[in-house]
């Protein structure tokens, strides 16, 4: 077809993971370029994302698309087979609502709970639990947020379902547990067990030490501030 599709990402980034999973779900081949985001960002990355200078960047026939959720919407609209967003405008609006909720509330608070200091942790953890309860209600008895198959909300929720679960393990936290949030926990198991998901997730044995180092850095920076 002569299409050039590239993803500038970082192997451990939950955001760049979303772009890759979406392309895999659509069966679109792409070239992956790993950026050294903690060291030296490439000139190309800075050229394609001058405003935020972040990964992921999707490059399609030379044109850059940035911000993970914008990328997901673009992929959905460009490769229309295997849709992961509903057609109905109201259902679409509902999916977008949960995506925003995950990105603005759930995920940041869960991450904060992982590295915040002892005295802040209880408050943040309580808040995170409230958000997870709300997110669980969005599942509403379905296997995936998208219904029988993975939808855009599931793709975004991978940040919680996989990356946060790994983070919790390191910190000895048990926020996303089977007894506290049975439906959400089951979802994270089912999601991570899908072959297409599994093949693109960063391996746990590599991710664990990486996240451990990142948490230590956040705690250090926070202590200095």
Which span sits near other proteins by CB under 8 A: 29-37, 57-65, 174-182, 195-203?
57-65
The answer to whether residue 206 forms part of the interface with other proteins (CB under 8 A) is: no
What tokens does 82 get? 């295997």
The answer to whether residue 133 forms part of the interface with other proteins (CB under 8 A) is: no
> CA dihedral in degrees (37, 40, 41, 43; nearest 10)?
-170
**CA-to-CA distance for 26 and 217, rounded, in angstroms?**
36
By CB under 8 A, the residues from 2 to 31 that bind other proteins are none
What tokens does 79 get? 């490769």
Nearest approach, Cβ of 123 to other proteins (angstroms)? 19
What tokens does 78 get? 């460009």
Q: What share of the chain is helix, strand, coil (3-state, %, to 5)?
A: 60, 10, 30
The answer to whether residue 217 forms part of the interface with other proteins (CB under 8 A) is: no
Nearest approach, Cβ of 208 to other proteins (angstroms)? 30
Nearest approach, Cβ of 225 to other proteins (angstroms)? 14
Which span sits near other proteins by CB under 8 A: 24-32, 73-81, 157-165, 175-183?
73-81
Pick the binder of other proteins from 8, 10, 17, 74 (CB under 8 A). Answer: 74
Nearest approach, Cβ of 182 to other proteins (angstroms)? 21
Angle in degrees, 0-180, between the axes of helices 118-139 and 89-101, rounded to the nearest 10: 160
Nearest approach, Cβ of 21 to other proteins (angstroms)? 18
Whether the Cβ atoms of residue 84 and residue 144 lie closer than 8 Å to each other: no
By CB under 8 A, the residues from 87 to 126 that bind other proteins are 89-90, 92-93, 96-97, 100-101
Nearest approach, Cβ of 193 to other proteins (angstroms)? 29
**CA-to-CA distance for 32 and 156, rounded, in angstroms?**
19
The answer to whether residue 47 forms part of the interface with other proteins (CB under 8 A) is: no
Whether the Cβ atoms of residue 109 and residue 160 lie closer than 8 Å to each other: no
Q: How many residues bind other proteins (CB under 8 A)?
A: 22
Considering the complex, state which of residue 106 and residue 170 has its C-beta at the smaller distance from other proteins. Answer: 106
Using DSSP's 3-state secondary structure scheme, residue 5 falls into strand
Whether the Cβ atoms of residue 184 and residue 162 lie closer than 8 Å to each other: no
Q: Is the peptide bond before 56 cis (omega within 30 degrees of 0)?
A: yes
Dihedral sign for Cα 141, 146, 150, 153, please.
negative
The answer to whether residue 172 forms part of the interface with other proteins (CB under 8 A) is: no
What does the binding site for other proteins look like in residue numbers (CB under 8 A)? 51, 60, 63, 65-67, 69-71, 73-74, 77-78, 89-90, 92-93, 96-97, 100-101, 134
């Amino acid at each position: 077809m002569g299409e050039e599709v590239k993803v500038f990402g970082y192997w451990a980034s939950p955001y760049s993971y979303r772009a890759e999973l979406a392309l895999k779900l659509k069966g679109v081949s792409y070239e992956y370029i790993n950026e050294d985001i903690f060291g030296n960002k490439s000139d190309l990355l800075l050229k394609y994302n001058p405003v935020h200078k972040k990964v992921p960047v999707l490059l399609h026939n030379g044109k850059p698309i940035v911000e993970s959720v914008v990328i997901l919407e673009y992929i959905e609209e460009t490769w229309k087979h295997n849709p992961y967003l509903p057609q109905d405008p109201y259902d679409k609006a509902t999916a977008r609502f949960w995506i925003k909720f995950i990105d603005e509330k759930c995920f940041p608070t869960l991450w904060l709970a992982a590295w915040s200091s002892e005295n802040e942790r209880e408050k943040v953890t309580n808040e995170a639990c409230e958000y997870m309860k709300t997110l669980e209600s969005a599942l509403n008895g379905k296997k995936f947020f998208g219904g029988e198959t993975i939808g855009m909300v599931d793709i975004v929720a991978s940040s919680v379902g996989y990356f946060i679960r790994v983070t919790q393990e390191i910190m000895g936290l048990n926020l996303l547990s089977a007894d506290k949030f049975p439906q959400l926990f089951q979802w994270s198991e089912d999601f991570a067990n899908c072959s297409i998901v599994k093949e693109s997730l960063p391996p746990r044995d590599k991710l664990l030490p990486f996240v451990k180092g990142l948490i230590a850095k956040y705690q250090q920076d926070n202590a200095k501030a």
